[in-house]
Amino acid sequence: MRKILVMLFFSAFSKMLMAQAVVSDPGSYGYLAQQVQSGIENLETLKETKETISETANTLDDMRSAITKVNDVVKQIAYIDRVIENQTLALMAANDAYKYLEETRVFTSRELKIILTNFTRLIASTEVTLGLAKGIIEDGIFKMSDRERIEFLQELNRDMSELQMDIYLLESTYRKTAQLRVLKQTFQQQK
């Protein structure tokens, strides 16, 4: 029985010793090294991707800036178109009004000259402003920013609209005068 106890003791002691023994597997070190290398490569790829994304973001910012500049130029062109359209309409209105007044034959040549001078003065008042607008657009006169140019063109557009209104009011005044003179002549002829 003693033998059995000794064997049991040694067998139990040897199992404890086996559990505490360090296991060394060279294959696991190789696998661990391979995983570390793979992780480093993944980090490098991630770093390159981050740099690419940063470059793309910078490119997009540059493109946004360019688009903003193009939008500003398009706005400037739209305002220039409106100014030209308003100027053309004003010139046509002044010309049509003068022709009408001339055809009524109720104004003397002196009065027609005064009427023509009044229309011409209204049209000529915009020539200086249009010259400045042309200089601003072509030469960047005064080195204005895009916003300042747009504000100037908006103001010029308002001036052209006011010019049209002034021509309309002047035309209305002369038309009323012409109508009153025609009525007066008609009544005098009927007496």
Q: Please tell me the predicted confidence (pLDDT) of residue 12.
A: 62
Question: What is the percentage of the chain residues whose pLDDT exceeds 70?
Answer: 77
Distances in whole angstroms, Cα of residue 170 to Cα of each of 11, 110, 124, 140 = 125, 17, 15, 35
Mean of pLDDT values over 126-146: 67
Mean of pLDDT values over 167-175: 88
**Closest to 82 measured CA to CA, from 155, 132, 141, 149:** 155
- Does this model's pTM top 0.85? My answer is no
Residue 159 CA to residue 125 CA, distance in Å, equals 10
Look at residue 13 and tell me whether its pLDDT is greater than 60: no
User: 51-78 pLDDT, tens per residue?
Assistant: 888 888 888 888 887 777 777 767 777 7
Task: Indicate the angle between helix axes 146-190 and 127-139, nearest 10 degrees.
Answer: 160
Compute the mean pLDDT over every residue in the chain, rounded to the nearest whole number.
78
Look at residue 19 and tell me whether its pLDDT is greater than 60: no
User: 100-122 pLDDT, tens per residue?
Assistant: 888 888 888 898 888 888 888 88
